[in-house]
Amino acid sequence: MKIGISTWVWTSPLRDEDVARLVPHIAALGFDWIELPIERPAAFDYAQAARLIEVHGLGVSVCAVVGADRDLSHPDAAVRANGMAYLRHCIEAAQLLGAPTVVGPLYAAVGRTWRMGTEERARLLDQIAAHLRELAAYAAARGVALAIEPLNRFETSVINTVAQALELLERVDHPACGLLLDTFHMNIEERAFDQALRQAGAYLRHVHACENDRGAPGSGHVPWTEVGTALRAIGYHGPLVIESFAAEVAAIARAAAIWRPLADSPDALARAGLRFLREHPALLGTAA
């Protein structure tokens, strides 16, 4: 069972010195996996990070950070083109890093929400799917896969639920484009964790294991037994990655709406979350 953590728990954006510090630190804490958000292209050296990650025996995933100027759902073709360029960069970074997946809300900018009619929505999904299909091929050629993440209603109006993600994935229709589910968002949007995970089924390539308030897994009310049982039922093989955000770092706290510390320290959150996930009977043996 591979349990990972995002560097967002400690800092943002990542620079070479953060990678040099956090890769050994995360390995020493006992994690099997590290997730690296790419906020600014080439802000750290991917090949150098890859060597360090390999030395420390960690798995790795790349998290795409989709802001207003990189939005595949935007009406302006230049913004979409910029989104494509950014996501191709993330795929290349994943290849250099040895990461099997580029994950995140690849389909739309975080924080842009608007009301859509059924037809507008169908046209938009077609548009996004065409972009994602092209990216999936680009990724597959480099041994990388995409995992798109439904977000809660306050962060996007495009894909909030597994059911909506499947509408998009069926349009994309490429084996290198799957699904990331994050228990923080699921807790708001899904009527039942169990059903949503089973509905995701073989599409599920990545899981963000987060508490309902973004605190350490196990500190809130996410039904982990139900989650673990469903993950086992669908034969999930990917990692469980703790994603939370350092309340101390202004830019990330603002972006993720973190207004209070969710643990005594980033390390305390990491340690408590890891221990809980590692020892949870329903999660034991879930992931590969």
Residue 259 near a copy of itself by CB under 8 A: yes
Give the one residue of 258, 274, 283, 287 binding a copy of itself; rule: CB under 8 A: 258
We find the least distance from the C-beta atom of residue 105 to a copy of itself, in angstroms, to be: 14
From CA 39, how far away is CA 53, in angstroms rounded? 19
Catalytic residue among 35, 92, 149, 155: 149
Q: Which stretch binds a copy of itself (CB under 8 A): 48-56, 132-140, 219-227, 274-282?
A: 219-227
155 is catalytic: no
Judge if the upstream peptide bond of residue 37 is cis by omega within 30 degrees of 0: no
Longest dimension (CA), the chain: 51
3-state helix, strand, coil in the chain (%, to 5): 45, 15, 40
How many beta carbons lie within 10 A of that of residue 79, not counting itself? 17
Say what the alpha-carbon torsion angle 216, 217, 218, 220 is, to the nearest 10 degrees: 70
Q: Are 8 and 62 in contact, with CB atoms under 8 Å apart?
A: no
Give the one residue of 7, 73, 183, 187 binding a copy of itself; rule: CB under 8 A: 187
Residue 261 near a copy of itself by CB under 8 A: no
Q: Are 202 and 234 in contact, with CB atoms under 8 Å apart?
A: yes
For residue 39, with 0-12 CB atoms within 10 Å meaning exposed, 13-18 middle and 19 or more buried, which class applies?
Answer: middle
Residue whose token pair is 């073989």:
202
248 is catalytic: no
Q: Which stretch binds a copy of itself (CB under 8 A): 21-29, 42-50, 112-120, 170-178?
A: 112-120
* Residues counted in the chain: 288
Residue 128 zone, left/alpha/beta (φ > 0; ψ -120 to 50; rest): alpha
Nearer to a copy of itself by Cβ, of 101 and 160: the residue is 160
Residue 11 near a copy of itself by CB under 8 A: no
Nearer to a copy of itself by Cβ, of 82 and 212: the residue is 212
Residue 152 near a copy of itself by CB under 8 A: yes
Q: What does the DSSP assignment read for 42-90? A: TSS-HHHHHHHHHHTT-EEEEEE---TTS-TT-SSHHHHHHHHHHHHHH
We find the least distance from the C-beta atom of residue 131 to a copy of itself, in angstroms, to be: 21
From CA 71, how far away is CA 81, in angstroms rounded? 8
Catalytic residue among 92, 155, 189, 243: 243
Give the one residue of 7, 101, 160, 183 binding a copy of itself; rule: CB under 8 A: 160
Residue 189 near a copy of itself by CB under 8 A: yes
What single-letter amino acid sits at 109? Answer: A
Residue 153 near a copy of itself by CB under 8 A: yes
We find the least distance from the C-beta atom of residue 35 to a copy of itself, in angstroms, to be: 22
Q: Which stretch binds a copy of itself (CB under 8 A): 33-41, 148-156, 172-180, 201-209?
A: 148-156
Q: Which stretch binds a copy of itself (CB under 8 A): 7-15, 57-65, 228-236, 258-266?
A: 258-266
Residue 215 near a copy of itself by CB under 8 A: yes
Residue 202 near a copy of itself by CB under 8 A: no
Residues of the shown chain interacting with a copy of itself in the complex, contacts defined by CB under 8 A:
113-116, 152-155, 157, 160-161, 164, 187-193, 211-213, 215, 219-221, 223, 250, 253-254, 257-260
Query: What positions carry a catalytic annotation?
Result: 149, 243
